[in-house]
Structure 1
Amino acid sequence: MRKRILLLLVLLLLTACSFNPSPQHTVIDWVDFVKWNDATYGANYEMNELKKDWETAGEVGEVKYMLDGQAGTNHQTKNGDAAYLQKGTKLYAMKGYDPAFRIIADGKVYEVTESDKAETVGDFLDIKGKVQRVILQSEQDLSFIGEFTDEHVEKLIEELLVMPYEPERRATEGKRVFFGIELVDGTMTRSVYWSETGYINYGGVASQEVKDIFEVEMQEYVF
């Protein structure tokens, strides 16, 4: 359990970063990802631990190349690449979600971590009308700290979906605030907010209204 939580924390902090390894390393421990349609998807470990038979909604592509054991340190990822999925593995849309957000491969759920062509976070974060609640989580183990008010949830999601997608503005100084967006189907998408810079790990800088919401919620639960 502790190993899984630590892995989730690491993945949250790795999103919006390149998956291309440093040429200084000769042994590559790949993050479990697949690239398709100019977007990079990371395995959603929490959902996959449930070992559910996730419903699909049609084939959208297939793996062309498996990096593990084959790719060198100078490999540049491209559409069809996957870290641990075998060549020929089919990629499917997940029922109820735009494949720009989540896809299924080899029975596992993969969630978008980067997009090469999105202009706003809402171009890939398919959660409009699907949010149950938003929670604050512990930086240590992702345990529950508190829940946003309904008013704040509504405004946060509204602002988040129109937030310009600008991963090049990634700035991670200051306190990290881990939060989860629980969806009506019981699944969750998680992210990180840096209070000093306003950067949100979905790939953009928060509006002043979103910053104000986080400030109020953080004060409520004594961050």
Structure 2
Amino acid sequence: MKKGLFLIGVLLLASCSGKPAQMLPSSQSSVIDWVDFVNWNDTTYTANYETNEMDKVWKTERVLGEVTYTLDGHAGANHTSKNGDAAYLPKGTKLYEIKGYDPAFRILANDKIYEVSEAGKAEKVEDFLDIEGKVNRVILQSEEDLSFIGEFSEVHTKEFIDELLLLPYEEAGRTTEGKRVFFGIELTDGSMTRSLYWPETGYINYGTTASERLKEIFEAEMKASNY
């Protein structure tokens, strides 16, 4: 299993969140600084740092599984991750379904939210991005510190989400070149799911490529916010 669907985006967003940049291992590394992830049901989840700083108590449903292997301190640079692997969560840590969320999108482990970063067998974005009916607003954020830059109009927000969820999930052809645009989708419970958009290639860091209409919406909102 790959170690992260949206790895570039995960690292960029982590570095802008005030957390130490976490790198996947290279063959030259003597000390491995893993991305904080866990694998379950052929899906890779990474810690959602901003949401975990909300100090919110999340209600859980059933136990989905548990960590069977901790990479930190045990795995080498060439380790191939599999279901049950986690970067830092101790062996035996329970993985929980969160009330109100499809576990394809988010799960809870050790009182922390882990959000999908590689969507396994998904065919469309809606198969894992469980945000329909939960969106408060879409915002543009600074590349330097993720501070607020602008907010999509109400009309564009609805159209953007509807269009995004129907896009095909792509395991290949992820081209991340040129300028990058940081944006966040704020949900009604106050949490945020962040992503990146590359205007030059149209790639969106949810494993998909923007439709022509989504490109138009991005362009209009970026212009309105002087992004």
TM-score (norm 1): 0.90
The answer to whether 1:208 aligns with 2:212 is yes
Query: Where does 1:128-147 land on structure 2 (aligned, <5 Å)?
Result: 128-147=132-151
Asked if 2 retains the 8 angstrom alpha-carbon contact of 1:63 and 1:81, the reply is: yes
Q: Number of residues paired by the alignment? A: 212
TM-score (norm 2): 0.89
Amino acid at match of 1:55: K
Amino acid at match of 1:160: L
Asked if 2 retains the 8 angstrom alpha-carbon contact of 1:25 and 1:73, the reply is: yes
Q: Which residue of 1 aligns with 2:119?
A: 115
Q: Which residue of 2 aligns with 1:38?
A: 42
Q: Give the alignment's Cα RMSD to 1 decimal.
A: 1.7
Asked if 2 retains the 8 angstrom alpha-carbon contact of 1:20 and 1:77, the reply is: no
Identity of aligned residues (%): 66
Query: Where does 1:68-87 land on structure 2 (aligned, <5 Å)?
Result: 68-87=72-91
Task: Give ranges in structure 1 of 5+ residues lacking alignment.
Answer: 1-5, 13-18
Q: Which residue of 1 aligns with 2:60?
A: 56
Question: For the residues of structure 1 that align with 2:11 and 2:210, how far apart are their CA atoms?
Answer: 26
Asked if 2 retains the 8 angstrom alpha-carbon contact of 1:166 and 1:203, the reply is: yes
SS class of match (2:219): helix
Q: CA deviation at 1:156?
A: 0.8
Task: Give ranges in structure 2 of 5+ residues lacking alignment.
Answer: 1-9, 17-22
Deviations 1:169-217 (A, max 9, x none): 2111111111110111111101000011100001111000000000011
Asked if 2 retains the 8 angstrom alpha-carbon contact of 1:90 and 1:105, the reply is: yes
Amino acid at match of 2:161: I
The answer to whether 1:94 aligns with 2:98 is yes
Question: For the residues of structure 2 that align with 1:20 and 1:100, how far apart are their CA atoms?
Answer: 23
Amino acid at match of 1:50: M
Match 1:161 to one of 162, 165, 174: 165
SS class of match (1:158): helix
Question: For the residues of structure 2 that align with 1:58 and 1:31, how far apart are their CA atoms?
Answer: 26
The 3 A distance-change label for structure 1 pair 8 and 110 is farther
Question: For the residues of structure 1 that align with 2:118 and 2:173, how far apart are their CA atoms?
Answer: 14
Question: For the residues of structure 1 that align with 2:86 and 2:137, how far apart are their CA atoms?
Answer: 32
Amino acid at match of 2:194: R
Q: CA deviation at 1:20?
A: 6.2
Question: For the residues of structure 2 that align with 1:30 and 1:22, how far apart are their CA atoms?
Answer: 11
Match 1:151 to one of 155, 173, 176: 155
Q: Which residue of 1 aligns with 2:225?
A: 221
The 3 A distance-change label for structure 1 pair 39 and 11 is farther
Q: Which residue of 2 aligns with 1:16?
A: none
SS class of match (2:126): helix
Q: CA deviation at 1:50?
A: 2.3
Amino acid at match of 2:50: E
Question: For the residues of structure 1 that align with 2:160 and 2:11, how far apart are their CA atoms?
Answer: 27
Question: For the residues of structure 2 that align with 1:208 and 1:119, how far apart are their CA atoms?
Answer: 20
Question: For the residues of structure 1 that align with 2:42 and 2:140, how far apart are their CA atoms?
Answer: 31
Question: For the residues of structure 2 that align with 1:95 and 1:8, how far apart are their CA atoms?
Answer: 29
Which deviates more from structure 2 when the two are superposed, residues 103-112 or residues 171-180? 171-180
Asked if 2 retains the 8 angstrom alpha-carbon contact of 1:34 and 1:80, the reply is: yes
Q: Which residue of 2 aligns with 1:15?
A: none
SS class of match (1:168): coil
SS class of match (1:169): coil
- Deviating above 4 A after TM superposition, structure 1's stretches of 4 or more consecutive aligned residues are none
Amino acid at match of 1:54: W
